[in-house]
Amino acid sequence: MIKQALLGILCGAAVLTVGILIGHYGIEKSSDSSPSWVKDVAKDVDEDLIQQFMSEVDNIEIQENLRELTKVPHMATTAGDEVTVQFMLKRWQDPENGLDAAWREEYKVYLSFPDPDNPNKVTVANTVLHTVREKEKTYTPDQDDPAVVQPYAAYSPAGNPKGKLVYANQGKPSDYDHLNQTTDLRGTIAIVRYGGAGRGAKAINAAPYGVIGVLVYTDPLDINDGLMSDVNETYPHSWYLPPSGVERGSFNSDFGDLLTPYLAAKEETYRIPTENITGIPPIPIQPIGFEDAYILICELGGGAAPNDWQGGFNCTYNYGGPGFKPTSAFNNSDVKMDIFNHETTTNSSNVMGVIRGSVEPDRYVIYGNHRDSWVHGAIDPSSGTSVMLEITRVLGRMVKQGEESRGERRSASFCFELDGSSSCPSLAGKWRPRRSIIFGSWGAEEFGLIGSAEYTEDYFTKLSERTVAYINVDIAVFANATLRVSGMPSMQNVIFQATKQVSAPGLSSTSVYNNWIRAGSDYAAFVHYLGITSMDMSYTYDRSKTNARIYPAYHTAYDTFDYASKFIDPGFTSHQAVARTAGNILIRLADSLVLPLNYADYAESLERYLEVAVNLYEEQLHARNISMEPLKLAVASFRRAADHLNQVIQSSDLPNQSPLMVRKINDQLMLLDRAFLNPLAFPDKYAFRHVIWASSSAGRPTFPGLADAFANADWEKAHYHVSVLSQAIDGAANILTDVI
Amino acid sequence: MIKQALLGILCGAAVLTVGILIGHYGIEKSSDSSPSWVKDVAKDVDEDLIQQFMSEVDNIEIQENLRELTKVPHMATTAGDEVTVQFMLKRWQDPENGLDAAWREEYKVYLSFPDPDNPNKVTVANTVLHTVREKEKTYTPDQDDPAVVQPYAAYSPAGNPKGKLVYANQGKPSDYDHLNQTTDLRGTIAIVRYGGAGRGAKAINAAPYGVIGVLVYTDPLDINDGLMSDVNETYPHSWYLPPSGVERGSFNSDFGDLLTPYLAAKEETYRIPTENITGIPPIPIQPIGFEDAYILICELGGGAAPNDWQGGFNCTYNYGGPGFKPTSAFNNSDVKMDIFNHETTTNSSNVMGVIRGSVEPDRYVIYGNHRDSWVHGAIDPSSGTSVMLEITRVLGRMVKQGEESRGERRSASFCFELDGSSSCPSLAGKWRPRRSIIFGSWGAEEFGLIGSAEYTEDYFTKLSERTVAYINVDIAVFANATLRVSGMPSMQNVIFQATKQVSAPGLSSTSVYNNWIRAGSDYAAFVHYLGITSMDMSYTYDRSKTNARIYPAYHTAYDTFDYASKFIDPGFTSHQAVARTAGNILIRLADSLVLPLNYADYAESLERYLEVAVNLYEEQLHARNISMEPLKLAVASFRRAADHLNQVIQSSDLPNQSPLMVRKINDQLMLLDRAFLNPLAFPDKYAFRHVIWASSSAGRPTFPGLADAFANADWEKAHYHVSVLSQAIDGAANILTDVI
């Protein structure tokens, strides 16, 4: 009985234990368990998903995107541009693989066009001895499209200057100055080659010397590695520029709509009087092909120009008498320019698309490229647009698939419209990014980065408060040799991380540049005006194989699908590698728990700048009682703060911390660059506010404002910039440190 | 056996059930239960704690604070100022009821002082007929302190002008213009009364007419309800100004250090050349008492001035011949000013203190007041400083008590120094605010809001990114009649909520003003330069009982503890009511889950501004093809967005939402005002960037930039401001809406 009782107790105890175990582990505790969002807020980037994304990126899809985009010329605001707007909208609104939402935004912007009924003309002599070709020679049917715009210089004034021709090298101030020593330039027409100075600057620099018109051409030495013949050397036989090829372009110096500085160019927006526009040519200027430039330059009289003014023609480049040689058939002839360009304000569209973030919808990663081209723009910009469309196709599908399987497709857009902040169901299906992703297909970039600049003006505060980073892929593939990424130093790490995962030719020699001196593409407004961490990416040349200053068909009628698919990236694998790399970085920026930005790399850049500045300037500044100590202290304090923050990130168990503590760190990382903005530091440089990356004419790898002030021996301004920089870098360090 | 077996099974089942129940309910599930921070992030403001705070605010403590602070004069950067610095530090570093940390921050600023060895003199005639009193008459021993600074006009240049006297009313442009119609003002000295124009403006307006010096005094009509006699009427018999009382003041027009615009005034900071300073008197100016002004004005010759130029003296105010009446003993005499002011750059301190936030340490509520006075400054600013010290005493104690009971006092400061973001234990004891609280005791406010302005320049980006609101309590009690709160309209709600909980005389007639036209105290830099939601609070007059333009002892040697305790707030209950109200608001801003800011009230203000603008300007703007439609659309869109956000907040179960969703809303509320900043909108107004609240000379209750442009018939600028405003208000609406 005792045994039985003991057994009973034992059994009972065992049963009780089993019961306790079942009760404790077997039954979900509904009342005590964590809210559903606890897991969501701690979620980090999913490496499998990145792999899946990369495997789905398809080179043939990119090729077909390009074929579609380049069917017709799509210069900004033309009928062809509208075709691309509709194409982007159709793709981004596609129910199978589109985005959550897509729409167009219009700005009424100031553009400059030639007159189709009165084409610009350049002729030699009063009784015409030579007429410069009005349109490029055609090799394929698409180049015959009547929508191919005549080569012209946007924002060149109309006019009919006539005068003796001179050769002024690249049209730099020093070139005109040199020429002026021996030649009276008053009343002359100057011919200059591309390179060395901005397009518009070639005319702006000329006017003070009395030059009344400028011709500009691309020298075969600068673009074609010297080759000139379309019989067997240039396109359609190679990637080189045919003799009649002409680089079009915008000849203004600032970015954004010229009539609405700092204001979004809407219908009723205040516009400055056109006579107040600065930075555009004061005299007519017209680009021509080297076929015609050859005829003009080789007939020039006067003395021989210096060695470094000589180009690829098989003749001596003379200064010009002014005018032609006495032995030339053109002797005593003038060159006459008849320029009929006109300006107009007209609507240009950005196409916008979004994938709404699930956990932090009010944090944006922006990915953009312009849509407008000069002619067919297969490389510039449609290579980038094709890549963007492939990225959105794959990401869009991942988002839509999730919804589909859960029958939530309708609710996503429904929530999006209504404000998903509070009442929306979780939209997480197969995938939804932690942060929101915004795609921008900018309009009218070719006229001066207009679409992206207007966008940043329109949404200044919102973008400034919420944007994590901006990724720009304009010309995705200049050449298929190697990947080049330019970016803020804080992005170096995530760029390396992504490139290591993409296998493609040339990727081993990836080079990352930390420099944003030139306002070359749509990242300009994001970097300089908004202070948003940005990068720009492309496949590019093997510099041991070509000296071309850019791909030869740039801004000409030859930048077509045929050219791109035959000579730039046959098979589209370089396009694919760019799409994989850019998408990889995009997903990391959108999904990482802690933003993959590293300010120790930024500190390194500042230290390098400081070292150069100290070496070049300290002695002379010290002699004028200007101390560089505050700048040294600021850089040191930035370094300490950056290292400290890295250490905090590494030593913390962030997935288990309050999401507000993680957000605190992410805000430090996101907003850091805003501290470098000073809207008053560069009163003469439109929209340049970032005191580290602003443009500089001094050409020194150091702080731009200080370098320029020093170059001009303006000691008040040099001292001012030391203070501006110290305060900005101290301010940035304050963002990275935790002390109030 | 079957029965036994059944019983056994039954028992076993029962035991199992008990076991399951114990297992499920009896044992804490450590692995599955929510992380500890889940409750913290959802915590809202604790009403009991607010009640406890208010009950602990003590009027006698405030009185004793004031007694201590006013022992010696504490003009900026003097020895007396240093005494108050040490006092603040001692209080804020107190182990029993101090803050987490307190420290001083110094700026080297440009100040102006009289020469103690060469007092400024004003005399009548070449052989001296009358000498204006150099120092005020004393009634109590503290007024005999040698540190009482002679009355002077800070930033008046030194000089020795001598000329015939004229009376120029308030020194407005229209006053000088009127006087100039009948009187040749070249070489004259003008006497003017305070009011109607800024201090410095009275000299700036005079100079173009050839006036060479200015005397300024306070007319008994404007300050004393007409009373003049210190035998039985004025202080020490009442709050009215004795005849020898003189209002000191800063005579500059801009705020912040004059030599370092937009830069924090550190040791090595770039300083503009002093000749480039704008907005200070170009000719000597000196304030005098009405005792002396009476003697001068009643002897003036020339015609009688208009009715509205007449003041409280029992004589006719004449224009001046120029000079005195033929019948006066002063006939033919000049007035001579000998002004020996000098400028100097010297270190001024802000004293800073913080209570670190527990849940959102990177969100700041800032509470500030200046510390420097002109003389003893019992009211201005020490009434406010006494209130601030009482608030920090009670809050500090609540924080320290919590730590004490948990033995955590050391760890709090330890964590604070090291960066508490990741490795610190929870600091929540009895109380720790959700957000960080920063207290600022600003230096050199009297010279032009210098300490607070330098602080905002020094920490611009950090403050801009993280500051929820700024509370300013400068003069806490002007008079003990009624509470007056000025603030951004978004704060109206929380102000009402707090005032309803404070019982005190006059509180029923609380009036809230939404207007920040005047840069009257340290909130200026926070509002205008940083766009931070701000408020300013004081007890003030019953306007049915006095017409005094300010409390009569303002900026004089009579603003002492004796004066404050006898005539301004006997018993210090009005001080107590201010401390309770301000502290109540402070706790709500620091502790509320959702920030207590309401933008529907802001929309109402914008709608009122718009209505005025449309009524006053639309017809004439329309006639010049300037449409106000964009502005109307922007205000309507702001209204919709504000109402929508309110609805989202009210209809959401925010305590149970992801804290990142709550933060999203709080960021919208916090950052909204930043959208109204435009650093280029007012190029001629130093640091005014807020396009809604900027100062305006047009005197219309509407958008300042538009009003001024319209008043000057500058149609280009009017159109520009319509666009600036539309873009800013649209941008603000974008912050409140959820669409990307």
**Cα dihedral B388/B389/B393/B396 (nearest 10):** 60
By C-alpha distance, the chain A residue nearest B633 is A268
Task: Identify the weakest region by mean pLDDT among B143-157, B359-373, B465-479, B515-529.
Answer: B515-529
Quote the CA–CA distance of B213 and B187 in Å, as a whole number: 8
By C-alpha distance, the chain B residue nearest A264 is B727
Helix axes B79-92, B382-406, angle to 10 degrees: 30
Determine which one of B61, B247, B390, B445 is catalytic: B445
pLDDT band at A36 (very low <50, low <70, confident <90, very high): confident
Q: How many residues does chain B have?
A: 740
By C-alpha distance, the chain A residue nearest B5 is A8
Closest CA to B466 of A666, A690, A735: A735
Q: B458: which chain A residues are within 8 Å (Cβ-Cβ)? A: 727, 730
Q: Are B197 and B176 in contact (CB under 8 A)?
A: no
Q: Which of B20, B457, B671 sits opposite A465 (nearest CB)?
A: B671
Q: B417: which chain A residues are within 8 Å (Cβ-Cβ)? A: 739
Q: pLDDT digit string (tens) for B696-706?
A: 989 899 999 99
User: What would the two tokens of residue B374 be?
Assistant: 């002109």
Q: Is pLDDT above 70 for B23?
A: no
Cis peptide before A659 (omega within 30 of 0): no
Q: B722: which chain A residues are within 8 Å (Cβ-Cβ)? A: 268, 270
Q: Which of B651, B658, B734 sits opposite A462 (nearest CB)?
A: B734
Q: Is pLDDT above 80 for B243?
A: yes
Closest CA to B439 of B452, B421, B458: B452
Q: Is pLDDT above 50 for B39?
A: yes
Q: What is the pLDDT of residue B154?
A: 98
Q: For the residues of B608-677, what is the DSSP string, one character each? A: HHHHHHHHHHHHHHHHTT---HHHHHHHHHHHHHHHHHHHHHHHS-GGGS-HHHHHHHHHHHHHGGGGGB
User: What would the two tokens of residue B100 be?
Assistant: 């987490």
Q: What is the pLDDT of residue B4?
A: 67
Q: Which of B630, B653, B663 sits opposite A266 (nearest CB)?
A: B630
Closest CA to A107 of A406, A392, A457, A529: A457
Is there a contact between A12 and B17 if contact means CB atoms under 8 Å apart? Answer: no
Which amino acid, A632?
Answer: K
Instruction: Give the DSSP letter of residue B8.
Output: H
User: What would the two tokens of residue B394 be?
Assistant: 């009670």
Domains of chain A, residue spans = 2-33, 41-107+345-591, 115-340, 599-736
Which amino acid, A6?
Answer: L
Give the mean model confidence (pLDDT) for residues B378-398.
97
Q: What is the pLDDT of residue A648?
A: 93
Which residues is A154 bridged to in the sheet? Answer: A250
Q: A730: which chain B residues are within 8 Å (Cβ-Cβ)? A: 458
Q: Which of B16, B630, B677 sits opposite A18 (nearest CB)?
A: B16
Q: Is the dihedral angle over the CA atoms A693, A696, A699, A704 positive or is it negative? A: negative
Give the mean model confidence (pLDDT) for residues B33-53.
92
Q: B630: which chain A residues are within 8 Å (Cβ-Cβ)? A: 266, 268-269
Quote the CA–CA distance of B107 and B449 in Å, as a whole number: 13
CA distances from B434 to B16, B472, B594 (A): 46, 21, 11
Task: Identify the weakest region by mean pLDDT among A537-546, A590-599, B136-145, B600-609.
Answer: A537-546
Q: Which fold has domain A41-107+345-591?
A: Aminopeptidase (3.40.630)
Q: Is pLDDT above 50 for B414?
A: no
Task: Identify the weakest region by mean pLDDT among A411-415, B8-12, B129-133.
Answer: A411-415
Q: Is pLDDT above 70 for B513?
A: no
User: What would the two tokens of residue A1 be?
Assistant: 């009985």
By C-alpha distance, the chain A residue nearest B31 is A33
Q: Which of B270, B680, B735 sits opposite A462 (nearest CB)?
A: B735
User: What would the two tokens of residue A324 be?
Assistant: 């032609």
Q: Are A556 and A136 in contact (CB under 8 A)?
A: yes
Specify the long-range contacts of residues A544-548, CB closer than 8 Å, at least 24 apart.
Answer: A545/A481, A546/A225, A546/A479, A547/A221, A547/A222, A547/A225, A548/A222, A548/A223, A548/A224, A548/A225, A548/A240
Q: What is the pLDDT of residue A407?
A: 47
Is there a contact between A35 and B34 if contact means CB atoms under 8 Å apart? Answer: yes
Give the mean model confidence (pLDDT) for residues B584-613.
96
Is there a contact between B34 and A32 if contact means CB atoms under 8 Å apart? Answer: yes
Q: A354: which chain B residues are within 8 Å (Cβ-Cβ)? A: 740
Q: Which of B416, B679, B739 sits opposite A680 (nearest CB)?
A: B679
Q: A440: which chain B residues are within 8 Å (Cβ-Cβ)? A: none
Q: How close does chain A come to B579, measured CA to CA in Å?
A: 24
ipTM value? 0.91
pLDDT band at B6 (very low <50, low <70, confident <90, very high): low
Query: Is 3.50.30.30 the CATH number for B115-340?
Result: yes
Give the mean model confidence (pLDDT) for residues A325-350.
96
Q: Are B80 and B72 in contact (CB under 8 A)?
A: yes
Is there a contact between B12 and A17 if contact means CB atoms under 8 Å apart? Answer: no
Q: B438: which chain A residues are within 8 Å (Cβ-Cβ)? A: 740
Q: What is the pLDDT of residue A509?
A: 53
pLDDT band at A5 (very low <50, low <70, confident <90, very high): low
Give the mean model confidence (pLDDT) for residues A219-229.
96
DSSP, collapsed to helix, strand or coil, labels residue A217 as strand
Q: Which of A16, A457, A661 sits opposite B18 (nearest CB)?
A: A16
Interface-testing mutation among A268, A414, A426, with chain B (most B C-beta atoms within 10 A): A268
Is there a contact between B723 and A37 if contact means CB atoms under 8 Å apart? Answer: no
Cα B459 vs. chain centroid, distance in angstroms?
18
Quote the CA–CA distance of B671 and B668 in Å, as a whole number: 6
Closest CA to A658 of B411, B357, B650: B357
pLDDT band at B80 (very low <50, low <70, confident <90, very high): very high
CA distances from A655 to A364, A537, A589, A658, A662 (A): 21, 31, 17, 8, 8
Q: What is the pLDDT of residue A12?
A: 65
pLDDT band at B10 (very low <50, low <70, confident <90, very high): low
Q: Are B158 and B263 in contact (CB under 8 A)?
A: no
Q: What is the pLDDT of residue A402?
A: 65
Q: Are B50 and B587 in contact (CB under 8 A)?
A: yes
Quote the CA–CA distance of A694 and A396 in Å, as a whole number: 36
Is there a contact between A419 and B737 if contact means CB atoms under 8 Å apart? Answer: yes
Strands A162-163 and A335-338: antiparallel
Interface-testing mutation among B270, B352, B355, B654, with chain A (most A C-beta atoms within 10 A): B270
Is there a contact between A674 and B361 if contact means CB atoms under 8 Å apart? Answer: no
Q: A27: which chain B residues are within 8 Å (Cβ-Cβ)? A: 20, 24
Q: A268: which chain B residues are within 8 Å (Cβ-Cβ)? A: 627, 629-630, 722-723
A445 is known as an active-site residue: yes
Q: What is the pLDDT of residue B2?
A: 63
Is there a contact between B459 and A674 if contact means CB atoms under 8 Å apart? Answer: no
Q: For the residues of B545-614, what is the DSSP string, one character each? A: T---SS-TTTTSTT-SHHHIIIII-TTSHHHHHHHHHHHHHHHHHHH-SS----HHHHHHHHHHHHHHHH
Instruction: Give the CATH number of domain B599-736.
Output: 1.20.930.40
By C-alpha distance, the chain A residue nearest B726 is A269
Instruction: Give the DSSP letter of residue A254.
Output: S
Task: Identify the weakest region by mean pLDDT among A5-9, A80-84, B118-122, B343-347.
Answer: A5-9
User: What would the two tokens of residue B604 be?
Assistant: 């109402």
Q: Is pLDDT above 50 for B425?
A: no
Q: What is the pLDDT of residue B24?
A: 59
Is there a contact between A723 and B420 if contact means CB atoms under 8 Å apart? Answer: no
Give the mean model confidence (pLDDT) for residues A653-678.
95
Q: pLDDT digit string (tens) for A475-508?
A: 999 988 888 888 899 998 898 889 888 877 666 5
Q: What is the pLDDT of residue B19?
A: 64
Is there a contact between A671 and B465 if contact means CB atoms under 8 Å apart? Answer: yes
Q: Is pLDDT above 70 for A96?
A: yes
CA distances from B538 to A62, B240, B382, B480, B575 (A): 67, 20, 13, 9, 9
- Domain B46-106+360-590 CATH class label: alpha beta
Better pLDDT: A321 or A411 = A321
Quote the CA–CA distance of A692 and A673 in Å, as a whole number: 10
Is there a contact between B422 and A661 if contact means CB atoms under 8 Å apart? Answer: yes
Q: What are phi and psi of B328, to 5 degrees?
A: -80, 150
Q: pLDDT digit string (tens) for A387-419?
A: 999 999 999 999 998 665 544 444 433 344 333
Tokens 């173009």 belong to B208
Q: pLDDT digit string (tens) for B649-693?
A: 999 999 999 999 999 999 999 999 999 999 999 999 999 999 999
User: What would the two tokens of residue A158 be?
Assistant: 């109309």
CA distances from B735 to A145, B261, B336, B444 (A): 45, 30, 59, 36
E strands present in B278-341:
285-287, 335-338
Is there a contact between B735 and A465 if contact means CB atoms under 8 Å apart? Answer: yes
Number of inter-chain CB pairs under 8 A, A vs B: 273
User: What would the two tokens of residue B530 be?
Assistant: 């940083």
Give the mean model confidence (pLDDT) for residues B406-412.
43
CA distances from B345 to A47, B112, B260, B373 (A): 59, 9, 11, 18
Cis peptide before B381 (omega within 30 of 0): yes
Is there a contact between A34 and B33 if contact means CB atoms under 8 Å apart? Answer: yes
DSSP, collapsed to helix, strand or coil, labels residue A57 as coil
Q: Which of A270, A360, A731 sits opposite B719 (nearest CB)?
A: A270
Determine which one of A343, A445, A446, A454 is catalytic: A445
Interface-testing mutation among B360, B593, B660, with chain A (most A C-beta atoms within 10 A): B660
Q: For the residues of A344-385, what is the DSSP string, one character each? A: EEEEEEEEEEEE--SSEEEEEEEEEEE--BSSS-TTTTHHHH
Interface-testing mutation among A27, A260, A461, A674, with chain B (most B C-beta atoms within 10 A): A461
User: What would the two tokens of residue B2 be?
Assistant: 């079957």
Which amino acid, B407?
Answer: G
DSSP, collapsed to helix, strand or coil, labels residue B325 as coil
Tokens 């509070």 belong to A422
Q: B653: which chain A residues are within 8 Å (Cβ-Cβ)? A: 422
Q: A24: which chain B residues are within 8 Å (Cβ-Cβ)? A: 23-24, 27, 29
Q: How close does chain B come to A138, measured CA to CA in Å?
A: 44
Closest CA to B308 of B455, B167, B115: B167
Closest CA to A678 of A661, A656, A703, A658: A703
The CA angle A446-A450-A451, to the nearest 5 degrees, is: 105
Is there a contact between A16 and B17 if contact means CB atoms under 8 Å apart? Answer: no
Q: What is the pLDDT of residue B529?
A: 95
Q: Is pLDDT above 70 for A705?
A: yes
Q: Which of A652, A656, A723 sits opposite B263 (nearest CB)?
A: A723
Q: How close does chain B come to A419, measured CA to CA in Å?
A: 5
Give, for A574, the enclosing helix (H) or strand (E).
helix A573-591
pLDDT band at A426 (very low <50, low <70, confident <90, very high): very low
